[in-house]
Structure 1
Amino acid sequence: MRIYLQLPPLEGKPPRFYHLFLHADLIAGWTLVKEWGFQGSGGRLKREHYPDYDTAETALMQSRDTQLKRGYRVVFMEGQRQ
């Protein structure tokens, strides 16, 4: 699952983005990857490991909701629950 969020640009600065995605890891768990920064530049990256898909998906949705409260808007979302 992948969700890409964006804030509108302010005062000549590029828009900010927040990218969330899940992928299976090699130790039978799931990793939630969070990347954020200004569009067109290198962002910051954080990885969080979860033992199963349901827990990882819940964490992804909570992160999405947090960013929506901060004013981000979903630009696209792909994937679905397995």
Structure 2
Amino acid sequence: MHAFLQQPAIGSEAPRFLRLTLLPDLFGGWELLRESGRIGSRSQLRRELYLEEAEARAAFDKARDAELHRGFAVLHCSA
């Protein structure tokens, strides 16, 4: 499951982006990867681990919805 969100550019600054990725790990758990930053510059990657798929999907949805509330727009999403 992937989602790519982008915030509109403000003035001459490059727009901000957020990439959310939800993947199963090798041990039966789930990983939520959050990559964020400005387009064209370094990004930050954070990893959260979950034991249950339902818990991981809820975290994915919550992270996506929080960024939509902050003014980001979904450019690409796949389930």
Identify whether the pair has TM-score above 0.5, normalized to the shorter chain: yes
Show structure 2 runs of 5+ residues with no match: none
Query: CA offsets per residue over residues 30-80 of structure 1, 9 Å max, x none?
Result: 00000110012221111000012111011000000110110001011012x
Write out the 4+ residue segments of structure 1 that deviate beyond 6 Å after TM superposition.
none
> 1:12 matched to which residue of 2?
12
Provide TM-score, normalisation by structure 2: 0.95
TM-score normalised by structure 1 residue count: 0.91
| Equivalent residues, number | 79
Give distance in 1, aligned partners of 2:40 and 2:33.
19
RMSD: 0.8
Residue aligned with 2:17, SS = strand
Question: Do structure 1's residue 29 and structure 2's residue 14 form an aligned pair?
Answer: no
Identity of matched residues, %? 38
Gapped regions of structure 1 (runs ≥ 5): none
Aligned residue for 1:41, secondary structure, equals coil
